[in-house]
Amino acid sequence: MTDGSPPTWRMLQAEAVDGLRAGGVESPETEARRMVEEASGCTGTELVMALDEVAVERAAARLRSMIERRTAGEPLQYVLGSWGFRHLDLMVDRRVLIPRPETESVVDAVLAEIDRISATRQPVDVVDLGTGSGAIALAVASERTCTRVWGTDASEDALVVARGNLAGLGRAAARVRLAAGSWFEALPSSLRGGLDVVVSNPPYVDPSARLPDEVHDWEPHTALYSDSAGTADLDRIIAESPEWLRGDGALVCEHSPEQTAELVDRAAARFAEVEVRRDLAGRDRALVARRPLR
Ligand SMILES: C[S@@+](CC[C@H](N)C(=O)[O-])C[C@H]1O[C@@H](n2cnc3c(N)ncnc32)[C@H](O)[C@@H]1O
């Protein structure tokens, strides 16, 4: 660029690495590559082949704006505008929580319950309470064709994002419905007592905890924090789910490892079987409670 000629993607990538490093970003090479992929529309070997091509001005401007946003502290996922969750590529922005890898392991626990139930009856009716970007609901619908899935959220803004992601889901979208409202209030009362699996990744962070700035300053607080040291929403979901589930149904809830003992106690008073699943880092992450006590 020094001679005034328009920059190639290789030059822009080097500029991105320098800009991100100077802005204190931890993995400037990896992030620069992700941004160049996004701005150029080329991934993997496609990008390698395109590195010496001149970038159109608008794409170069888009890359520079991404670098600016990232160095101002905005999470990479919002800057890119999309993020992977299991095999899905989901649109994400400040209206929704960024889908986390630990939630991918919660989906594994949900699929195990669906497989247990679908061996005796189908379709399997699943509700994802607090669906945010739609991550859990859409992954479940696309990975198990025997399901009918509801995704709910109290945030209308989040539901706009979930609807956008649903539109890109393909055939499985026909088995997904989205609804607004607080926890079970979003659902038609005709579903009471008829659900096979209730899953939720509710807000579960203690409001007095200090989350990293990149999380606290950018992600929706209604998706992160919950009263009673983080368990207020989990408590409500555990208390109300038995009346919505069938006799052999299951509740699967994401939670933080410190909450395990308290949540297991609460669930054991309402379900015949309770277990805790770990995430890939080996930390307690999902409460699985089966067969509500009547
Ligand atoms: C931790 S985020 C989970 C988002 C998504 N399910 C995921 O795993 O990435 C919690 C979600 O619960 C929603 N939420 C918070 N309070 C709620 C309520 N009372 N009823 C329904 N949804 C609620 C938030 O808007 C947010 O989308």
Give pLDDT tens digits for 48-58.
999 999 999 99
**H-helix segments, the chain:** 9-22, 28-40, 44-50, 57-71, 76-80, 101-118, 135-143, 156-167, 213-216, 221-224, 232-240, 260-268
Buried b (16+ CB within 10 A) or exposed e, 22-61: eeebeebeebbbbbbbbbbebeeeebeebeeeebeeebbe
Distance CA 229, CA 204 (A): 8
DSSP state of 196: E
Beta carbons of 140 and 128 less than 8 angstroms apart: yes
Q: What integer pLDDT is reported at residue 294 of this predicted model?
A: 76
Q: What integer pLDDT is reported at residue 32 of this predicted model?
A: 97
Instruction: Return the SS3 of 212.
Output: coil
Q: How far is the CA of 190 from the centre of ligand 1 (A)?
A: 23
Q: What integer pLDDT is reported at residue 184 of this predicted model?
A: 98
Distance CA 268, CA 262 (A): 10
Instruction: Taking the CA atoms of 116, 121, 127 and 132 in sequence, report the sign of the dihedral they define.
Output: positive
Beta carbons of 164 and 176 less than 8 angstroms apart: no
Q: What integer pLDDT is reported at residue 229 of this predicted model?
A: 94
The preferred substitution site among 96, 149, 153 for testing ligand 1, maximizing ligand atoms within 8 Å of CB, is 153
Q: What are phi and psi of 144, to 5 degrees?
A: -135, 105
Distance CA 222, CA 214 (A): 16
Instruction: Return the SS3 of 64.
Output: helix
Give the tokens for residue 139. 């992954």
Q: How far is the CA of 128 from the centre of ligand 1 (A)?
A: 9
Beta carbons of 112 and 273 less than 8 angstroms apart: no
Residue ranges, the chain, pLDDT below 50: 1
The preferred substitution site among 155, 234, 256 for testing ligand 1, maximizing ligand atoms within 8 Å of CB, is 155
Distance CA 244, CA 190 (A): 10
